[in-house]
Structure 1
């Protein structure tokens, strides 16, 4: 038996039999692993989105977003501005098919970076 922790995917196929397996570590987000200085918060709300806080403003959020894109090998030309948003922001598609979005603010307040998986927010970092 082996315990695995895969940096990008939580669930994946292995071996000639293509067995479906899951990380041995608790489910985490790309944001958990690759944005330093995030203070995790408890899940809350009906959607149970995992959240964290980090000191900083939109400039710090943009720096973290660009660093994450670089770590994942995302071509800068694949980073797109958010369309139809009242707040400035950008997004890219991660190698695992999920999306990372940075926003300058929201109706709830501070700038955020969000990790979207299968059309739902999995994790959100708020910058304050």
Structure 2
């Protein structure tokens, strides 16, 4: 996935931000959603085009209410130990959306500027894992 982002012209700092947010989303799905159950699946669908990267990460857990997870008044320090992951995803991505059940998150990051590295990649690439 990271190599594909590079091929589509995403800058190194953008790829770093995406990697951090995706790793957090995957960790949340495995640890909190699936409760580290080795037989539970994590569903991943990601799409990349020259302007945007989008990934959906879903687990087989009961879900949660993301609106009930609130940061402290200054918006920088989580009130509870496991809130820092959500804050990280929101900081690094342009959009963070949850499904109604709260067991799937969609992360989106728009490319900050055009890059000559993107070459002739005008279409989208989507992968389902």
State the TM bucket, normalised to the shorter chain. Answer: 0.3 to 0.5
Relative to its length, the structure with more helix (as a share) is 2
Relative to its length, the structure with more strand (as a share) is 1
Give TM-score scaled by structure 1 length: 0.33
Give TM-score scaled by structure 2 length: 0.33
Instruction: Pick 1 or 2: higher relative contact order, CA cutoff 8 A, min separation 6.
Output: 2
